[in-house]
Structure 1
Amino acid sequence: MLAEFIHGLMTFHFLQNALITAVVVGTVSGIVGCFIILRGMSLMGDAISHAVLPGVAIAYILSINFFVGAIAFGILSSIIITYIKENSLIKSDTAIGITFSSFLALGVILIGVARSSTDLFHILFGNILAVQDVDKWITIAVSFLVILVIVLYFKELLLTSFDPQMAKALGMRVNFYHYLLMLMLTLVAVTAMQSVGTILIVALLITPAATAFLFTKTLKTMIFLAAGIGAVVSVIGLFIGYSYNIAAGSSIVLTAAVVFLVSFFISPKQKYVKRKVQKW
């Protein structure tokens, strides 16, 4: 199986595109996922990943690149959620539930209008083996931009993630960095569509970062480990999907879940095994 996969990489251009895209998406998803976890915003990632669906459908209707429509609706959903949370008595989880379900319903309606269910099915569940050169380069460019922003504003994102009240007292624009992170989350969600689809994006965002959290004590170490885990599980998932002719996106997510499950039991921070041994 491995020899066949390696031969395929050397022979088929589509598989080369898939591998590069998988590594890039897995890496950047792990990095952004660290901040999402620390801020307790996993539901926000889920909301944005579903909210981009109508934007994708509109892009197909207008015959423009789906990145444009998806990014526009992703940003719009994050603005709506934040505005409702900050200007009403409604809690954030309620605002997220209302917004993402409404956008998802709109997306389903627009899918029927677009009459392009095959392509949109790939957007829902991913089809990394169908990644074109232009999509690969857009993914690389967007991921590079996201990583560059994180490097430039690392200290600010760190402080606003761990202690937003202190950051506000120090004069930092907490809301600005919140929206900046939402923008990066949207960009990553859009780039991950080709690999795992809108349904499974949140898993790729959260699982590698959650796994890294079990083994690290500092954010920098967590980011590097999450990026590595995201890249590795993406490659393994692609290998499994290609070798056994099953959905590569789902294989990537399940691989990440298995890695997390094993880490859950063996992590020194969890001390799960030690506690069980002591009970016996």
Structure 2
Amino acid sequence: MNYHLLIDPLQYSFMQRALLIAIFVGIICSLVGSYLMVQRLALLGDAISHSMLPGLVIAFMLGVNMYLGAFIAGVFSTLIIAVIRSRSPLKEDAAMGIVFSAFFALGVILITLIQKDNKIDLNHFLFGNILGVTFTEVKDTFLITLFVIAVIILIYKELLFYTFDPEGSQAVGLPVNLLNFGLMLLIALTIVASLKTVGVILVLALLITPSATAYLLFKRLHQVMFFGAIFGVIASITGMYISYYFNIPSGPAIVMVAVLLFSIALLFSPRHGILTQTYSSHQQGKIWQEIKGLFH
């Protein structure tokens, strides 16, 4: 084995920082994403990430920390979604679709307006710029990772109960609104930590894909979270090396590795794999009828 293929990139300090932040993001995205996936709220992660774009731009205009602006915008968007859901007959998915579209459009408009005087690379906001991370950003991401892990450990049982039985958890007196808002804060923090790595557009893939991979292989939530984090780290590190050697964008490379791992699990999972499940002749007949129906 040519060990220099693994070691050579590490001689550059920017690559060391990029790998560290990729590992941290791979862990927390999978941990938080497990709750999103189990609650079928994947669109919420997309809504929050898109909603952060105007916060980034406004913070840039005001000369304050852009990631603080992104976090505030993300939390604000979740509050608007909650208001629309509670004060109108619209369901949550419709509210999320409206809010994230509006916020994202506002962000693009703001960027266009201020580009006359200030050059902003929109691609860095949308797809990340992990190779440009600073030591301070690595430290901040590490602290966010520790905080997210600590909160999940402290309220794991409550979140577990709320995730699988919201009505039951409310009946026994758990503060479900507080738990829901706390989960939204964790999602917003995770997305803020991931913006430099994969950007606004691709962060949903890193939130959901490693967890979905683990979900196909394991039954219990703590197993999904643990192995999802492992898959997230594997995707992040592998994607970084592919990006380095093939000179392609790091964020998309990380996401594609995560999707490849998911595809393998989807095909070969012992319980849910497409190629490992046994179908009766009746089931096979129904499948072929459905396929034929697509072409008529």
Q: What is the distance in 1 between the residues matched to 2:18 and 2:276?
A: 41
Work out whether residues 216 and 269 of structure 2, in 8 Å CA contact, stay in contact via their aligned partners in 1: yes
Residue 136 (structure 2) pairs with residue 124 (structure 1): no
Residues 128-143 of structure 1: matches in 2 within 5 Å? 128-143=130-145
Give the percent of matched residue pairs that are identical in Structure 1 and Structure 2: 40
Checking the alignment, whether the CA contact within 8 Å between 1:5 and 1:243 is kept in structure 2 is no
Change (3 A) 1:92 1:277: closer
Match of 1:59 in 2: 59
Gaps spanning 5+ residues in structure 1: where? none
1:15 shift after superposition: 0.6
Match in the other structure for 1:191: 193
Say if 1:63 and 1:119 are closer, same or farther in 2 by CA, change over 3 A: farther
What CA distance in whole angstroms lies between the structure 2 residues aligned with 1:213 and 1:117? 43
Cα pair distance change 1:193/1:117, threshold 3 Å:
farther
Classify 1:120/1:137 alpha carbon distance in 2 versus 1 (closer, same or farther; 3 Å).
farther
**TM superposition shift of 1:223:** 0.8
Contact 1:57 1:120 in 2 (8 A): no
1:159 alignment counterpart: 161
- 2:8 maps to what in 1? 7
Q: How many residues align?
A: 279
Counterparts of 1:238-277 in structure 2 under 5 Å?
A: 238-275=240-277
Work out which of the two has the higher radius of gyration on C-alpha atoms and give 1 or 2.
2
Asked if the contact 2:202/2:255 (under 8 Å) is kept, the reply is: yes
Name the CA shift for 1:277/1:84 in 2 (closer, same or farther; >3 Å).
Answer: closer
Q: In structure 2, how many angstroms separate the alpha carbons of the residues matched to 1:218 and 1:246?
A: 36
Q: Report if the CA contact (8 A) 2:243-2:250 is conserved.
A: yes
Amino acid at match of 2:124: H
Residue 217 (structure 2) aligned to one of 206, 215, 218: 215
Q: Which residue of 2 aligns with 1:180?
A: 182
How many angstroms does 1:167 deviate by? 0.1
Contact kept in structure 2, 1:26 and 1:204, CA below 8 Å: yes
Kindly provide the amino acid, as one letter, of the partner of residue 206 in structure 2. L
2:75 aligns to what? 75
CA-based RMSD of the aligned residues comes to 1.6
Distance in 2, Cα, partners of 1:32 & 1:101: 23
* 2:269 and 2:276 in contact (8 A); partners too: no
| Cα gap change, 1:27 to 1:250, in 2 (>3 Å) | same
* Cross-structure match for 1:28: 28
Per-residue CA distance 1:147-187 (angstroms, 9 max, x = gap): 11111010110000000010000001111111100000001
Match of 1:86?
Answer: 86
SS at match of 2:89: coil
User: Cα–Cα, structure 1 residues 73 and 2, in superposed 2: closer, same or farther, change >3 Å?
Assistant: farther
2:287 aligned residue: none
Change (3 A) 1:63 1:5: farther
Which of 202, 205, 210 matches 1:203? 205
TM-score where L is the length of structure 2: 0.91
Over 3 Å counting, the alpha-carbon distance change for 1:89 and 1:67 in structure 2 is same
d(CA) in 1 for partners of 2:15, 2:32:
26
> Displacement of 1:136 after TM fit?
0.9
Indicate how the Cα distance of structure 1 residues 163 and 150 shifts in structure 2: closer, same or farther if over 3 A, else same: same
Are the aligned partners of 1:111 and 1:117 in contact in 2 as well (CA < 8 Å)? no
What's the TM-score once normalised by structure 1's chain length?
A: 0.96
Deviations 1:187-221 (A, max 9, x none): 11111011101000000000000000011111111
**Displacement of 1:278:** 6.0
- Cα distance, 1:112 vs structure 2: 1.8
Confirm or deny: 8 A CA contact 2:268 2:276 kept in the other structure: no
Aligned to 1:231: 233
